Amino acid sequence: MDADDLILVSIDDHVVEPPDMFARHVPAKYKGEAPIVVTDDKGVDQWMYQGRPQGVSGLNAVVSWPAEEWGRDPAGFAEMRPGVYDVHERVRDMNRNGILASMCFPTFTGFSARHLNMTREDVTLVMVSAYNDWHIDEWAGSYPDRFIPIAIVPTWTPEGMCAEIRRVAAKGCRAVTMPELPHLEGLPSYHDDDYWGPVFATLSEQNVVMCLHIGTGFGAISMAPNAPIDNLIILATQVSAMCAQDLLWGPAMRKYPDLKFAFSEGGIGWIPFYLDRSDRHYTNQKWLRRDFGDKLPSDVFREHSLACYVTDKTSLKLRHEIGIDIIAWECDYPHSDCFWPDAPEQVLAELNAAGADDSDINKITWENSCRFFGWDPFARTPRAQATVKALRAKGADVDVSIRPRKEWARLYQEKRLTKA
């Protein structure tokens, strides 16, 4: 297969939420309590909610920066490439990268919505719904042919989670983001079926996928005081195995046959060893009396899971041992790990090196993710217009220059002055 003929669906990208995102989605009664972006005395844009700062606006949003500048997040929107936060510019950047569709994880709220969990629960539930309405109706809804929506849920209340899952499912959203290891956030672990059981049942009934993105489980990584930051960045993907362990050996995958999990950005390299070890443990340690029926743990894992990777050249050689139907590619725009604007060439090079045929390539680059999330890529876009070649023709005028943050800030200010 030629790179021009690829169809690419990225099942893990990120959106940096624009500062006005709550304006059109919070009821009038709560307008004054909605999160806002403020610029501090150092010129840093921060989200503020209920009187507390919730971090910088653009975590790792460094696409189009020189690599030497990746060590510090953007100070604000001025330093970011516009496609990071502007949906129309995002689609142009997707066109230039030959990507048909994207699922965009949140930034400001965190993957478990923890930055919205403040003192007044009535307000927090309103803000969770407002965020989802913005994401589903405004971000993804502006280009329903290009985005697969994903919602946040109030993980601190099972009743609230179930209600919000039903509400977003009715709006056509088939994915929610959840923490990898909830006990690290002061919540019950996934072994607690009293807490999570109603949520798992609701996800199953509504056919909504539970997405588990790396990053929420950093607390599980014990680092020496003098260890470099490299340790945390590299080992973050290994938390996916710890998360899978809780879901596979707890009630989630064994009690709820229709429940689905996407392990986002954890890669696929951990899976062969983890599944071999799980099967060996199950067949060897009979005295523990664990029950997987007439199946092996690896069988159950594959029935429930989608494993998502950015780059994993060695593990792709084991794609059939892992399970060719459970592997999906992702781009990770606008983070430092992403391939932009050369994703097609990078993806295909790894798949070719692994000996993948056209059938395997299609499964990994779009078929598996579209099937898993129930999203039809050709419902609004004819297949001939969904290829890398067709999309890049639309994005031929997109500037792909690498610019330092100061240059992005200068261009941002020039644009604002022109509008004024």
String of DSSP letters for 97-161: TTEEEEEEE-STT-TT-GGG--S-HHHHHHHHHHHHHIIIIIIHHH-TTTB---B---TT-HHHH
Which pTM value belongs to this model? 0.96
Ranges of H-type helices in 185-312: 193-206, 229-235, 239-249, 251-255, 270-284, 297-304
Helix (H) or strand (E) segment spanning residue 52: strand 52-56
Q: How far apart are CA 212 and CA 332, in angstroms?
A: 14
8 A C-beta contact, residue 380 and residue 101: no
8 A C-beta contact, residue 65 and residue 402: yes
Residue matched to tokens 């500062």: 19
Q: How far apart are CA 108 and CA 117, in angstroms?
A: 12
Q: How far apart are CA 360 and CA 363, in angstroms?
A: 5
Integer Rg of the chain from CA: 21
**Over its length of 420 residues, how does the chain's per-residue pLDDT go in tens digits?**
999 999 999 999 999 999 999 999 999 999 999 999 999 888 889 999 988 888 778 889 999 999 999 998 999 999 999 999 999 999 999 999 999 999 999 999 999 999 998 778 889 999 999 999 999 999 999 999 999 999 999 999 999 999 999 999 999 999 999 999 999 999 999 999 999 999 999 999 999 999 999 998 988 988 899 999 899 889 999 999 999 999 999 999 999 999 999 999 999 999 999 999 999 999 999 999 999 999 999 999 999 999 999 999 999 999 999 999 999 999 999 999 999 999 999 999 999 999 999 999 999 999 999 999 999 999 999 999 999 999 999 999 999 999 999 999 999 988 876 765
Angle of the 239-249 helix axis to the 270-284 helix axis, nearest 10:
40
8 A C-beta contact, residue 258 and residue 204: yes
Overall number of domains in the chain: 1
8 A C-beta contact, residue 214 and residue 236: yes
Q: How far apart are CA 150 and CA 15, in angstroms?
A: 11
DSSP code, position 212: E
Question: Closest Cα partner for 344 from 334, 335, 352, 355?
Answer: 352
DSSP string, 229-257: HHHHHHHGGGHHHHHHHHHHHSHHHHH-T
8 A C-beta contact, residue 187 and residue 161: no
Residue matched to tokens 């189009």: 64
Helix (H) or strand (E) segment spanning residue 166: helix 158-170
Residue 405 belongs to a domain with what CATH number?
3.20.20.140
Question: Closest Cα partner for 267 from 364, 370, 191?
Answer: 364
At residue 420, the pLDDT reads 54
Q: How far apart are CA 404 and CA 281, in angstroms?
A: 51
Tokens of 417: 């002055």
Give the domain extent around 123. 3-419
At residue 419, the pLDDT reads 66
Task: Report the residue count for the chain.
Answer: 420
